[in-house]
Structure 1
Amino acid sequence: MTTTSFPRLSTPAGPIPLQAPFWNRQRHSSMPSHRYRDVYSRVEVPQTERDWPANRLTAAPLWVPVDLRDGNQALAEPMDPARKRRFFELMVTMGYKEIEVGYPSASQTDYDFVRLIAEGGIAPDDVTVVVFTPARRDLIERTVASIQGIANPVVIHMYTATAPTWRSMVLGREPEDLKQLILAGGRDVWELAGDMPNVRFEFSPEVFNLTEPDYVIEICDAMTALWHATPERPVILNLPATVEVATPNVYADQIEYMHKNLARRDAVILSVHPHNDRGTGIACAELAVLAGAQRVEGCIFGNGERTGNVDIATLALNLHAQGVDPMIDFSDIDEIRRTVEHCNRIEVHARHPYVGDLVHTAFSGTHQDAIKKGFAEHRTRAAAEGREESEIEWRVPYLPIDPADIGRDYDAVIRVNSQSGKGGIAYLLETAFGIELPRRLQIDFARHVQQHTDTTGTEVTAADLWKVFEEAYLRADVDAGIAITSYDTAETDGDSRTRITLRIDGREHTSAHRGCGPVEALAAALEAQSIRIDVVGLHQTSVGSGADSEALTLLEHRTADGGAWSAGRDRSVLSATLSAVIAAANRIRADQTA
């Protein structure tokens, strides 16, 4: 391989001395970059000709979300069974046909979730479930036990690290010893599950991208022979960039080399699993598919160890933006985001591609003007051709896709030509009252403000904004006849008890709840009265400052029409939160009786 250096600038009189122009001087850095080796000196791909640069993406690869295993292992608080099931059901609804569901030998929670799939019938017949195991017999036995009785297609995914540093430092094995360990694991898998007709097999040489290519080929060919790979029962060879260490073209070269040199290629599904340590995991996956990969493992929004796994949503919607059907349904991306945030307990960044709150929002006046003109031209073309706007080629400036494709409305794009206006609303409330609104509440509240200004036609002051806010979010608790009249808590020998009294349509209902706090007890008491509140998030702020300040709880929850907000205000944070829950209950009840 050759290395590339930037040429010196030159003139007819010859090269410009590096020390002459200020913009060509090297800046001093105190970072110890000399401690690191470039990847070319560690793994050189014997590739002299490459086809991938001339290829084009024309179809979606096989997608395999690993949120329930790899993504779950990367969470500070791993998913409980309810969150795991909710995430699984989301992925089924989105149309994923192969889902990695867990690491059953690693935890009882994962084992039990695989058993739920086996016994609970929560997986449609056409969904393949993947289970993950190291190459160790006792763990393989536990894994095979977990899948007993599953009627769905199953993939047993076995892995072992193969890179030199991992071989010597972590596993203490010479190359041949490690190969024999892997083959022993492969034989155990075949012995225990080879006769199960619904089971296929997957092998990952972990840290593939730092392993000698010919050594990987040697092991992978031995595994496909051991597992009797055929086109009718192909073996998945998954080649992870476990720690991203090179530019994406290097990974593409590695994948193409494997693609061209593996034995039994027609009996192999070539898969990739890029991580994002360099911030180029998406590029690695796209170039790997150009280079011959047929399958991509990743997480829906890129959650994973360190800087994350590859982001499947971005990969899929990149294809959509190029006119290629991604084969996964992202038509309600906000609901997908809310569910993923709930299950992972991690917020998606506002600038995250496609899904972030701000990705379709223009703050710049020039951008706003171009977008408005683009929308106008789009509608004019549709009218001139007598076609629906959704049938017209999309070419609106600054918007690579139509926000409506993923369930976003145009208010967030055009009216905020006034997103600056939304920002101004939030600024006035913060400066006048000390209230800090979450971004999504800013968008929701701006609609109420717009209705107010459309009606009055007058300038909106901070005091006016606060009145609109009170009417929209704080007074909802008096509308539908639900109130909390009392609550008390007690704790005995570590066992907490909460008594809640509700007044609903003038009648009181008292209930006692063990092992939970007042907020959870209130939600349970309401659910007992057929009023279920699905909380998305709670945000605490305050009204005023100093000794006179009051707590303000902002509660985001689901309704039949999507998301909604309610609020509660009190001197006590707890009382404010309970008031917010009651406000939400009244809104839900009002919607039910409307």
Structure 2
Amino acid sequence: MSNNDRVIIFDTTLRDGEQSPGASMTGEEKLRIAKALERLKVDVIEAGFAIASPGDFAAVKAVADNIKDSTVCSLARAVDADIERASEALAGANSGRIHTFIATSPIHMQYKLRMQPDQVIEQAVRAVTKARNLCADVEFSCEDAGRSEIDFLCRIIEAAIDAGARTINIPDTVGYAIPHQYADMIRQLLERIPNADKAVFSVHCHNDLGLAVANSLAAVVAGARQVECTINGLGERAGNAALEEVVMAIKTRQDLLKVHTRIETEHILSASRLVSGITGFPVQPNKAIVGANAFAHESGIHQDGVLKHRETYEIMSAQSVGWNANKMVMGKHSGRAAFRSRLEELGIVLLAEGELNAAFARFKELADKKHEIFDEDLQSLVSDALAEDVQEHFKLVALDVASKTGQVPDAKLVLSVDGQEQPASGQGSGPVDATFKAIESVANSGATLQLYSVNAITKGTDSQGEVTVRLEKGGRIVNGNGADTDIVVASAKAYLNALNLMKIGAKAHPQVSGV
């Protein structure tokens, strides 16, 4: 196939994905995910919104400075300050892109921007011109294009291309589009805009009606050649088009779609697990491609068919997206070199010596508890080790829980609070509830528990449990994560991790609504 048949994969996990309530990532975590995306051969990585905060700027800069095989992008509103800040953050990029946007739907122009259509076009042209003078690669998005008038879209897009935009994004910002209608919009834009041949047309679909992937693929058939998506479909509200679903649909149905991507699909599963572990958003078992049941067969008829010929019930192989029987057959006597080597095979290459030592120590502890260490355990070990780099105001020192039939569960803890050990105790309806109440007897956080979720990392009764705790206080939401073979210990770690993240302080985000 020619380059005209290649679909550019634009991943916005680090930007739109992070806008999911509770999914905020540290700069270190963003860099780990960016490395996984680079390994996956993602074409464009939207690393964040540089002007949002000093932390966001630093994260975009770190990704730009370290990623060499993917274009690194920063989002910017159509205002000078945003564009200049994005340019600064991308200064060290091997290949950088400024992605600027402005709303184009009547409802957004009237009620959000309070601008006339001609004013919106003027501001868009000014923004694209400014960005083009600072960066060779500029993308322009028509926010809420799915509810915009086609005639106005033609006018503003033609002007943006004339001003220097070489990628034009047509986002279905609120997930309103239906596949055949969305495809017709893309087709009309390509036919009616005189200079459409000078830009790549892109789509960014939200999943409010469960149609993000379907809309994206319909747009590709209509001529779009960039799809904006996220790992696991992460994103605000119902999320975005899932990268793994878009890519595998293109790969599996090349006979019909007649396009391709450069994604190395065997790394999809490891990227999915990394994002899930860092954000604390578990992947549902029946999730396409990366769910635990995606390639499982229970029906006897199905099992018989697959054993005789895989393609009777499987349209793609599990190995093609990274499912395999990989496990580290290592134990307490295994060495640091083998440990580091396996991490590198999994794409975990960001560990400094101190971080490696912390992760290796956790590996040794786990090897005493579990006979077999799986790749999923390693991802969790590293996340747990790096979580200690979060400014640890609270830290678990010791935990003793008593839970007996007919008696009220009781938890006794020793917490380190800014380096000073303090005892804590509490009673509750169960051992976890008692543990959380004991922690709060010292923390007095005033936060509300919004979510408590437990997932087994691997199979077996000796599996590590991965716990997600979501806390809310004053409108700010954080997710804390913890893992351990003891669920109560994992729960305490997750709660304390959430409290520590809450202590860091809220991030001021200027984006009123996402692209």
Question: Which of these residues, 61, 75, 94, is aligned with residue 132 of structure 1?
Answer: 75
The 3-state SS of whatever aligns with 2:86 is helix
Question: Which of these residues, 349, 353, 359, is aligned with residue 294 of structure 2?
Answer: 359
Distance apart, 1:515 and its partner CA: 4.1
Equivalent residue, structure 2, for 1:92? 38
Structure 1 residues 164-563: aligned runs within 5 Å = 164-191=106-133, 193=134, 196=135, 199-227=136-164, 235-323=166-254, 326-375=261-310, 396-409=311-324, 476-477=368-369, 515=418, 539=454, 554-555=463-464
User: 1:495 and 1:144, CA in 2 relative to 1: closer, same or farther beyond 3 A?
Assistant: closer
User: 1:93 and 1:135, CA in 2 relative to 1: closer, same or farther beyond 3 A?
Assistant: same
Contact 1:539–1:553 (Cα < 8 Å) also in 2: no
Distance apart, 1:166 and its partner CA: 0.7
User: 1:327 and 1:144, CA in 2 relative to 1: closer, same or farther beyond 3 A?
Assistant: closer
Equivalent residue, structure 1, for 2:101? 159
Equivalent residue, structure 2, for 1:143? 86
User: 1:364 and 1:112, CA in 2 relative to 1: closer, same or farther beyond 3 A?
Assistant: same
Distance apart, 1:260 and its partner CA: 1.1
Aligned amino acid, residue 60 of structure 2: V
Aligned amino acid, residue 67 of structure 2: A
Identity in percent: 25
Equivalent residue, structure 1, for 2:405? none
User: 1:76 and 1:538, CA in 2 relative to 1: closer, same or farther beyond 3 A?
Assistant: closer
The 3-state SS of whatever aligns with 2:323 is coil
Bigger radius of gyration = 1
Distance apart, 1:189 and its partner CA: 2.7
Question: Which of these residues, 456, 465, 485, is aligned with residue 567 of structure 1?
Answer: 485
Equivalent residue, structure 2, for 1:427? none
Distance apart, 1:138 and its partner CA: 2.2
Distance apart, 1:479 and its partner CA: 9.2
Equivalent residue, structure 1, for 2:335? none
Distance apart, 1:270 and its partner CA: 0.9
Contact 1:299–1:312 (Cα < 8 Å) also in 2: yes
The separation in 1 between residues aligned to 2:366 and 2:47, in whole angstroms, is 42
The separation in 2 between residues aligned to 1:243 and 1:89, in whole angstroms, is 30
Distance apart, 1:117 and its partner CA: 3.7
Contact 1:75–1:344 (Cα < 8 Å) also in 2: no
Distance apart, 1:182 and its partner CA: 2.2
User: 1:84 and 1:68, CA in 2 relative to 1: closer, same or farther beyond 3 A?
Assistant: same
The 3-state SS of whatever aligns with 1:68 is coil
Aligned amino acid, residue 328 of structure 1: I
Contact 2:204–2:241 (Cα < 8 Å) also in 1: yes
Aligned amino acid, residue 246 of structure 1: A
Distance apart, 1:158 and its partner CA: 0.6
Distance apart, 1:496 and its partner CA: 5.3
The 3-state SS of whatever aligns with 1:69 is coil
Aligned amino acid, residue 555 of structure 1: Q
Contact 1:498–1:516 (Cα < 8 Å) also in 2: no
The separation in 2 between residues aligned to 1:475 and 1:68, in whole angstroms, is 33
Q: Bigger relative contact order, structure 1 or 2, given CA contacts below 8 A and separation 6+?
A: 2
Listed as ranges, the gaps of 5+ residues in structure 1 are: 1-56, 230-234, 376-395, 412-472, 481-493, 501-511, 519-536, 542-551, 558-564, 579-594
The 3-state SS of whatever aligns with 1:67 is coil
The separation in 1 between residues aligned to 2:116 and 2:455, in whole angstroms, is 56
User: 1:346 and 1:497, CA in 2 relative to 1: closer, same or farther beyond 3 A?
Assistant: closer
The 3-state SS of whatever aligns with 2:14 is helix
Equivalent residue, structure 2, for 1:80? 26
Contact 1:317–1:326 (Cα < 8 Å) also in 2: no
User: 1:279 and 1:575, CA in 2 relative to 1: closer, same or farther beyond 3 A?
Assistant: closer
The separation in 2 between residues aligned to 1:62 and 1:331, in whole angstroms, is 18
Distance apart, 1:144 and its partner CA: 2.2
The separation in 1 between residues aligned to 2:169 and 2:113, in whole angstroms, is 20
Equivalent residue, structure 2, for 1:591? none
The 3-state SS of whatever aligns with 1:83 is helix
Aligned amino acid, residue 284 of structure 1: N
Distance apart, 1:374 and its partner CA: 2.4
Distance apart, 1:345 and its partner CA: 1.4
Q: TM-score, normalised by structure 1?
A: 0.55
CA RMSD in angstroms, aligned pairs only: 3.6
The 3-state SS of whatever aligns with 2:265 is coil
Aligned amino acid, residue 94 of structure 1: L
Distance apart, 1:538 and its partner CA: 9.6
User: 1:62 and 1:495, CA in 2 relative to 1: closer, same or farther beyond 3 A?
Assistant: closer
The separation in 2 between residues aligned to 1:222 and 1:313, in whole angstroms, is 34
Mean Cα displacement is larger for which, 57-66 or 133-142? 57-66
Q: TM-score, normalised by structure 2?
A: 0.63
The 3-state SS of whatever aligns with 2:15 is helix
The separation in 1 between residues aligned to 2:319 and 2:13, in whole angstroms, is 26
Aligned amino acid, residue 464 of structure 2: L
User: 1:157 and 1:496, CA in 2 relative to 1: closer, same or farther beyond 3 A?
Assistant: closer
User: 1:184 and 1:349, CA in 2 relative to 1: closer, same or farther beyond 3 A?
Assistant: same
Aligned amino acid, residue 137 of structure 1: D
The separation in 1 between residues aligned to 2:416 and 2:201, in whole angstroms, is 53
The 3-state SS of whatever aligns with 1:278 is coil
The separation in 2 between residues aligned to 1:287 and 1:478, in whole angstroms, is 47
User: 1:478 and 1:307, CA in 2 relative to 1: closer, same or farther beyond 3 A?
Assistant: closer
The 3-state SS of whatever aligns with 1:130 is strand
Distance apart, 1:304 and its partner CA: 1.1
